[in-house]
């Protein structure tokens, strides 16, 4: 078969699978983010006309509030999946629970027994995956990754470990990735199921050193746990095609560039789509000069071999912790009168990029723009960075003294003082010895909540942050003196970056009252017209009632957010995500807020939707978030229409 014939055959297969999937979308939510990671449901029973009847159907507590861990943060980021009348999800301690989807009654639970005496760099567990196939045991099996690098295979009907998978139902993914620091190498997003394969990424603790664990992606046999193939984003030998973009043989020592967000697969095209992070360490690249290809990239891998089919690097030589944080979203985008199979991502830089799913060709023009040069000895940045022709979803401008914000005069004065002493040239301002204002910050822009896409309306929805950060490099010989003088009291995070001449210090740019030092909105909900490649609308997202001191009124200024939106066929956006104990519904066409309900904790997660006995439900985790100083909780909440007039 010629290459052209093979290409057309794959396109026809893709079209066939797309048509077949439309009927399944309505009732099933059987993978993270729904079909293709679209965070979209065909269910439309809940609509703008009956929201007065939308109430909590059930609410449960998992019992997981860190369970006596000595040094472990808390978050509850799970996106449950639905199968056979049950919801399946994971918790911050990597418990897996199955509950009755109609009532919330617990069916079973599994505890992997994470060690409690160690420190953890992460607290996230975004969910589980499900596989169906012929097997002597566990023909319906769930997979969950843990914060110490394990993958467990569980019987979906009982919660028991599947004895024929790897070592009694447990595969150790920390083997073969270099020297592992326990608690710093884990799996925070659910593995992706592709036929009879399981595609597994990893989360790696940042900024510890140049030589960290490798960000290897592996494909496991879903029945046996055997490794079918592996792919390392960093080149280890001169015969690899990306080797020349890593100067001085630096690929041999550098680690990370790992795939920590959820992974997407296209079975018909035999492609696996991964979003890669930055190489180690995040904020100084003098030990890894060059553009560092396949780091900070969207990469399409061949599902049968793990070979690179195509890639697009979205940040060159990253020194800002600008990982590509979101799941690649598989959809269709109309361009020049054609509907094109597409894959889209939103980034920490506040941009949306989209590509032809088969070829990697950009669907919106990408231009290389000049960016500032570094003045740090040993560093050499890329002279240009890629920018999407879609307008930025968040502010990327330089922060000046005129931008200083405070609710009281001394608050604003302190913010202005920091601005005047820091380097601020807008997006891609080099990290400096004096201190740099990052805008957007290392938290985004967009983050792991990703983007929800309604392919019929050709609208993409993303929640974004607009809060700068302060990052500074400090020569190692100067650090102790600065600490002794109290320069890094409060919310500063210091990291050694072993193997470099510098310690990294960073913090979100907040005032003495704990509010951002720049003008609101600090969080927005943004809609993109995909056909036009333009912003359709944006609105401030959230109020400050759960993050501001009591003396400050409850302004709707928009607030920091993590987690993502759900879009419904009926034109609703259902979203928690904001640093507030509230879920909201917006109109997808206008951005008008239509509905909100208080919850006992902030729902820092992405919702999902499912149908039982002809009734639509929407479920979301509400667990707070340590990184946003929000109260800890462990609720899973499900909503439905409680009145009869649906």
Kindly give the pairing relationship between strand 565-568 and strand 40-41: parallel
The model's pLDDT over 91-135, given as tens digits with 9 standing for 90+, comes to 999 999 999 999 999 999 999 999 999 999 999 999 999 999 999
Would you say residue 384 has pLDDT above 90? Answer: yes
Helices (H) and strands (E) in the chain, counts: 3, 40
Would you say residue 15 has pLDDT above 50? Answer: no
Predicted local confidence at residue 154, as pLDDT: 98
Is the Cα dihedral 282, 443, 68, 514 positive or negative?
positive
Which phi and psi angles does 640 have, rounded to 5°? -155, 170
Kindly give the pairing relationship between strand 140-145 and strand 150-155: antiparallel
CA distance to 78, 107, 388, 637, 642, per residue, from 103 (Å): 19, 11, 45, 11, 13
Residues taking part in catalysis: 321
Structural domains in the chain plus CATH codes: 3-641 (2.140.10.10)
The model's pLDDT over 245-261, given as tens digits with 9 standing for 90+, comes to 999 888 889 999 999 99
CA 199 and chain centroid, separation: 17
**Residue 551 banded pLDDT, cuts 50, 70, 90:** low
The model's pLDDT over 225-236, given as tens digits with 9 standing for 90+, comes to 999 999 999 999
The H-or-E segment that residue 17 falls in is: helix 3-25
The arithmetic mean of pLDDT across residues 170-190, rounded, is 97
**Rounded Cα distance, 594 and 539, in Å:** 13
**Rounded Cα distance, 326 and 451, in Å:** 8
**Mean pLDDT, the chain, as a whole number?**
94
**Rounded Cα distance, 281 and 265, in Å:** 29
**Rounded Cα distance, 435 and 492, in Å:** 12
The model's pLDDT over 435-470, given as tens digits with 9 standing for 90+, comes to 999 999 999 999 999 999 999 999 999 999 999 999
**Rounded Cα distance, 125 and 66, in Å:** 13
């Amino acid at each position: 078969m010629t290459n052209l014939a093979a290409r057309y055959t794959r396109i026809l297969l893709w079209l066939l699978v797309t048509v077949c999937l439309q009927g399944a979308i309505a009732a099933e939510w059987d993978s993270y983010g729904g079909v293709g990671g679209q965070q979209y449901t065909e269910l439309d029973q809940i609509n703008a006309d009956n929201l007065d009847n939308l109430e909590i159907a059930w609410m449960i507590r998992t019992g997981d509030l860190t369970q006596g861990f000595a040094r472990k943060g808390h978050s509850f980021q799970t996106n449950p999946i639905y199968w056979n009348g049950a919801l399946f999800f994971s918790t911050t301690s990597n418990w897996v629970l199955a509950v009755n989807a109609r009532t919330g009654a617990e069916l079973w639970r599994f505890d992997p027994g994470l060690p409690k005496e160690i420190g953890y760099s992460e607290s996230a567990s975004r969910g589980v995956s499900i596989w169906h196939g012929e097997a002597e045991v566990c023909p319906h099996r769930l997979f969950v990754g843990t914060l110490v690098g394990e993958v467990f295979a569980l019987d979906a009907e009982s919660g028991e470990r599947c004895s024929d998978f790897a070592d009694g139902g447990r595969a150790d993914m920390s083997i073969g990735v270099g020297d592992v620091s326990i608690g710093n190498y884990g799996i925070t997003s659910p593995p992706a199921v592709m036929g009879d394969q399981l595609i597994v990424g990893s989360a790696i603790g940042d900024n510890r050193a140049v030589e960290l664990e490798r960000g290897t992606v592996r494909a496991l046999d879903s029945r046996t746990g055997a490794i079918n193939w592996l792919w390392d984003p960093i080149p280890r030998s001169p015969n690899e095609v990306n080797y020349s973009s890593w100067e001085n043989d630096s690929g041999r020592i550098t680690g990370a560039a790992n795939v920590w967000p959820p992974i997407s697969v296209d079975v018909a095209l035999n492609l696996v789509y991964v979003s890669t992070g930055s190489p180690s360490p995040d904020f100084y690249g003098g030990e890894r000069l060059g553009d560092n290809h396949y780091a900070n990239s969207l990469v399409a891998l061949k599902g049968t071999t793990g070979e690179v089919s195509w890639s697009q690097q979205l940040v060159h030589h990253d020194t800002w912790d600008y990982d590509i944080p979101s799941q690649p979203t598989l959809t269709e985008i109309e361009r020049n009168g054609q509907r094109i199979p597409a894959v889209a991502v939103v980034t920490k830089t506040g941009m949306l990029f989209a590509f032809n799913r088969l070829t990697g060709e950009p669907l919106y023009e990408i231009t290389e723009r000049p960016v500032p040069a570094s003045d740090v000895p040993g560093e050499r940045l890329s002279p240009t960075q890629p920018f999407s022709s879609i307008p930025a979803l968040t502010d990327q401008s330089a922060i000046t003294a005129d931008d200083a914000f405070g609710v009281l005069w001394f608050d604003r004065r302190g913010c202005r003082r920091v601005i005047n002493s820091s380097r601020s040239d807008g997006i891609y301002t080099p990290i400096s010895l004096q201190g740099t204002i990052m805008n957007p910050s290392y938290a985004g822009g967009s983050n792991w909540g990703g983007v929800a896409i309604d392919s019929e309306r050709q609208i993409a929805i993303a929640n974004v942050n607009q809060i700068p950060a302060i990052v500074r490099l400090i020569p190692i010989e100067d650090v102790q003196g600065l600490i002794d003088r109290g320069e890094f009291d409060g919310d500063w995070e210091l990291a050694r970056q072993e193997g470099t001449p510098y310690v990294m210090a960073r913090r979100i740019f907040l005032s003495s009252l704990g509010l951002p030092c720049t003008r609101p909105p600090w969080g927005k909900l943004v809609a993109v017209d995909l056909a036009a490649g333009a912003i359709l609308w944006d609105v401030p997202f959230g109020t400050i009632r759960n993050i501001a001191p009591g003396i400050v009124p409850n302004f709707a200024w928009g607030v920091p957010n993590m987690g993502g939106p759900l879009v419904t066929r009926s034109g609703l956006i259902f979203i928690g995500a904001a640093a507030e104990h509230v879920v909201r519904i917006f109109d997808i066409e206008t951005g008008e807020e239509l509905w909100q309900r208080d919850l006992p904790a902030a729902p820092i997660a992405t919702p999902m939707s499912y149908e039982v006995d002809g009734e639509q439900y929407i479920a979301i985790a509400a667990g707070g978030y340590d990184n946003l100083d929000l109260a800890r909780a462990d609720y899973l909440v499900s909503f439905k229409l409680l009145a009869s007039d649906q």
